[in-house]
Structure 1
Amino acid sequence: MTDLATRWLGLELRSPLVVGASPLTDDLDALKACVRAGAGAVVMHSLFEEQLVEEQMAAHRFIDSRTHTDAEARSFFPESELFEMGSDSYLQRLELLRQSLDVPVIASLNGISTGGWTGHAVEMEAAGAHAIELNLYDPASDPAETAQTLEQRQLAVINAVAEQVSIPVSVKLSPFYSALPAFVAGTEKAGARGLVLFNRFYQPEMDLDALELSRKVVLSSSAELPLRLHGIAMLFGRTGLEMAASGGVHTGDDAAKALLSGATVVQVVSALLAEGPRAMARIHGELGRRLSDMGYRDLAEARGALSMANAPNSRTWERLNYARLLHGWT
């Protein structure tokens, strides 16, 4: 059987399968079951800076507006600064997971300002996070902002966080950079240790009857995996950053494809949300059998075997394949 142990971001993992950022973070029993089933690490759900700010401002407005309504109001409402708000509950959860799980726990941060990112990152390190995943969910919506401006802002955030913490920092990217290899080179120079490819954009749906926007989470499918494989295969050997595949991994074969493309680890979310921890056991078993049947003794032998740098028909990853694919349709 193939040895599935690996090393990611300087952390020793018993398996390349990682529980990705998801609501499962709030279910300790489910996380324990995933670890028993073969998960090598756990990524917490993201701490969103703007959500904290919104909650804090709402509390300030609610309490402070009433303390001045009449002379006796202060006897009923405490000042807002006495309330415990912010990242405390997230940090407490992080500490609990560190104490309860015998695999690395990675904190996830989605911020909007350099100061906010660095401040929360320092708190996460102090709470015991083995690493931090920066979720660069920053869709461009301002016509006056160029791609260069947006990318420079993101690189500044990465650099600021990497300089403030001693634990490894990985960066979760979207697939929408016009020159992904160049931006990845910038993230490495800024101090990142790893990449997570790619972020899934949860976009609002339209309710035509109510004439309003609605939120609906749609789970991924294996059909989303090829985009990740392409990005990882293209970058393998061209960057010193370790890569994690995220999105579209539902089977052991999906995980094997990601590793053969060049991924160090594979994050699983939608399959776990749909099936529960038994999906981790299934994928773990399927992956081990597949790699063993292919003759790989360990993951180092398999990693990147079908990347752009190593595949026997590597030009299939490139633009020429697009024309051939279209002309080959019947």
Structure 2
Amino acid sequence: MTELATRWLGLDLRSPLVVGASPLTDDLDALKACVDAGAGAVVMHSLFEEQLVAEQMAAHKFIDSQINRDAEARSYFPESEIFEVGSHSYLRRLELLRSKLDVPVIASLNGVTPGGWTHHARELEDAGAEAIELNLYDLATDPSDTAATLEKRQLEVVQAVVAQVSVPVSVKLSPFYSALPAFVTGVEAAGARGLVLFNRFYQPDMDLDELTLSRDVVLSSNAELPLRLHAVASLFRRTGLEMAVSGGVHSGDDAVKAILAGATVVQVVSALLADGPEALGRITEEASRRLDRMGYNTLAEARGALSLDNAPNAHTWERLNYARLLQGWR
């Protein structure tokens, strides 16, 4: 069987299969089962800066509403442990996972301001995070906010966080950059160690019967994988950043494709939510057997074998293939 040990962000992993950011963070037994099934690391769900701000504002509003009830109103403000706001529960969860899991635990941070990002990043490092995944989920809704200003703001955030922590930082991107390689160059210059490609946007749908917006979670399918493969294959050897594929990995063959494109690790979420932790064991075994049949002894031998630079028909990754696909669609 092919040896699956690898290194991601300077961390030694027993396997390239990583539990991605998801609600599984709150299920310790499920995470333990994933580790037993071969997970190389665990990424916690994101700590959202704007959610913390909203909680803090709600707390202030509640307290302010009590101030003028009578002269002694200030004496019956709620105790902090009763009305908890901030990142405390997330940090406690991080400390628990670090103590109970024998694989690296990576914290995930989704923020909106450089100050907020750096403050919470330091908290995550102090709580024991072995790396931090920055989730650059930034939707432009202001017509005056150009692609250049948005990207500049995001790169400033990456640079600020990297400057404040000593643990490695990876950056999770959306697929919606008009010039992804150029932006990745900026991410690398800002000091990040890795890329996670790509973020999946959980956007609201419309309920036409109720005339409301619905927020149902739609799990991924492997139909989403080619977008990730194309990006990783195009960036391999063109950036010094290590890359993780996130989204669309449901089988061992999906994981192997990501490695052959140039990924160092593969994050799995939807398959675990749909089929339970045993799915990770199945994917791990399938990937190892496939790589073994292909003649690879280690992941390093397989990594990037079908990237843009190494694929025998590399033009298939490029625009020319679009016309051929249209001509041969039948």
Same fold (TM over 0.5): yes
Counterpart of 1:67, as a letter, is I
TM-aligned CA deviation for residue 94 of structure 1: 0.5
Q: How does 1:240-251 map to 2 (within 5 A)?
A: 240-251=240-251
Q: Does 1:311 align with 2:311?
A: yes
- Per the alignment, residue 105 of structure 1 pairs with 105
Amino acid at match of 1:192: A
- 1:183-224 C-alpha deviation (Å, 9 max, x unpaired): 000000001000000000111011112111111100000000
Within 1, Cα distance between the matches of 2:25 and 2:192?
24
CA contact (8 A) 1:42 1:105 kept: yes
Three-state SS of the structure 1 residue aligned to 2:12 is strand
Structure 2 CA distance for aligned equivalents of residues 102 and 325 of structure 1: 46
Cα distance between partner residues in 1 of 2:17 and 2:83: 39
- Percent identical among aligned pairs is 78
Per-residue CA deviation, residues 107-143 of structure 1 (Å, 9 max, x unaligned), is 0000000000000000101111000000000011111
Q: For 1:243 and 1:86, locate their aligned partners in 2 and report how far apart those are by CA, in whole Å.
A: 31
Alpha-carbon displacement from aligned partner over 1:292-328 (angstroms, at most 9, x marks no partner) = 0100000000000000010000010000000111111
Q: Partner of 2:252 in structure 1? A: 252
Mapped partners of 1:3, 1:291: distance in 2: 9
Aligned to 2:85: 85
Cα distance between partner residues in 2 of 1:130 and 1:78: 35
TM-score (norm 1): 0.98
Partner of 1:266, secondary structure, is: strand
Q: Residue 75 of structure 1: CA displacement?
A: 4.1
**Within 1, Cα distance between the matches of 2:75 and 2:149?**
50
Structure 2 letter corresponding to 1:183: F
**Which structure 2 residue ranges, 5 or more long, are not aligned?**
none
Query: In the TM superposition, what are the counterparts of 1:36-47 in structure 2 within 5 Å?
Result: 36-47=36-47
Partner of 2:68: 68
Distance in 2, matches of 1:211 and 1:101, equals 45
SS of equivalent residue, structure 1 residue 296? coil
How much does 1:73 deviate?
A: 3.2
Q: 2: distance between equivalents of 1:119 and 1:228? A: 31
Task: Find the counterpart in structure 2 of residue 295 from structure 1.
Answer: 295
Alignment length (residue pairs): 330
1:69, CA displacement in angstroms? 2.5
Secondary structure of the corresponding residue to residue 45 of structure 1: strand
Q: Distance in 2 between matches of 1:77 and 1:148?
A: 46
Separation in 1, partners of 2:167, 2:81: 31
For residues 31-54 of structure 1, what are the alpha-carbon distances to aligned partners after superposition, in whole Å with 9 as ceiling and x for unaligned?
A: 000000000000000000000000
DSSP-derived class of the 1:206 partner: strand
C-alpha distance after superposition, 1:130-179 (max 9, x if no partner) = 00000000011111111000000000000000000010000000000000
Letter in 1 for 2:9: L
**TM-score (norm: length of structure 2):** 0.98
C-alpha contact (below 8 Å) 1:60/1:80 kept by paired residues: no
- 1:76 & 1:96 partners in 2: Cα distance? 33
Q: Is the Cα contact below 8 Å between 1:5 and 1:13 reproduced in 2?
A: yes
Question: Which residue type is aligned with residue 9 of structure 1?
Answer: L
Q: Do the aligned partners of residues 82 and 252 (structure 1) sit closer, same or farther apart at CA in structure 2, a change above 3 Å counting? A: closer
Deviations 1:67-96 (A, max 9, x none): 213334334434879954200110110011
Once the two structures are superposed, what CA deviation does each residue of 1:218-259 show, in whole Å capped at 9, x if it has no partner? Answer: 000000000000000000010000000000000000000000
Letter paired with 1:175? P
Match of 1:171 in 2: 171
Aligned equivalents of 2:82 and 2:269: distance in 1? 37
Q: Name the CA shift for 1:72/1:151 in 2 (closer, same or farther; >3 Å).
A: same
Aligned-partner residue type, residue 109 of structure 2: L
Stretches of structure 1 that go unaligned for 5 or more consecutive residues are none
Which residues in structure 2 correspond to 1:252-271 (within 5 Å)? 252-271=252-271
- Per-residue deviation at 1:65? 1.1
Counterparts of 2:103 and 2:82 in 1: how far apart (Å)? Answer: 36
Contact 1:63 1:80 in 2 (8 A): no
Give the match for residue 139 of structure 1: 139
Name the CA distance, whole Å, in 2 between partners of 1:266 and 1:79: 43
Please say if residues 205 and 213 of structure 1, whose CA atoms lie closer than 8 Å, have aligned partners that are also in contact.
yes
Q: Distance in 2 between matches of 1:20 and 1:187?
A: 21
1:250 and 1:283 in contact (8 A); partners too = yes
Q: Counterpart of 1:8 in structure 2: which amino acid?
A: W
**How far apart, CA to CA, are the structure 1 residues paired with 2:323 and 2:84?**
59
CA distance in 1, matches of 2:223, 2:324: 20
Aligned equivalents of 1:63, 1:79: Cα separation in 2 = 11
2:119 counterpart residue number = 119
